Amino acid sequence: MEENKINMPLLGDDFPELNVQTTHGPMSIPGDMKGQWFVLFSHPADFTPVCTTEFVAFQKRYEQFEELGCKLIGMSIDQIFSHIKWVQWIKAELDIEIKFPIIAANDSVAMKLGMLHPGKGTNTVRAVFIVDPKSKVRLIMYYPQEVGRNMDEVVRAVRALQLSDKQGAIAAGWPNNELIGDRIIVPPPTNEEDAKNREKEYECFDWWFCHKPLEK
């Protein structure tokens, strides 16, 4: 049936319209997030060890996301009362207050985002969507249920996307790239004249690989 069709969004697509119930009340996504960055991430199930470590890790970096103007939104196909109880348990037992909303999704919502992978069972996989202020999907990561995510990489990815929009391409492992450190890669020239002058304007390994200082 159409409602069970997996329709995974692609990079550059508009984020699918979702009207959902969350631990912070009803939300319309991406409508309620219009004009700001957000990270929507799914987890397999409440009250599971790996997911608990992930929620604590996301919350520990909550202020870093806020500084980037980026909101966090969690999601699984657990019911809302389960989310609420789990958040209460994390606060009571681990002394960590989860400040971001958690969506109580259904299979239809999860299918729209490609979070249900038949070969990995009936729980949502660990998906991460980074969405920009124009509601465009800018980065997607999928992890299996058995491997927890690295939240420092999610923070780095948001920061790198924001910088790339303003300054240029971002190197591997930025800001600690083995070749150029935290410098920004200059877009390659598009004609012979620019290629001829490129090494006069920037530091380069060759005319097609030039870099410039990061603008603070």
Q: Which residues are catalytic?
A: 51
> Largest alpha-carbon pair distance within the chain?
65
User: In whole angstroms, what is the distance from residue 53 CA to residue 58 CA?
Assistant: 9
Beta-strand relationship, 70-76 and 102-104: parallel
User: In whole angstroms, what is the distance from residue 24 CA to residue 145 CA?
Assistant: 25
CA distances from 42 to 1, 48, 102, 168 (A): 23, 13, 9, 30
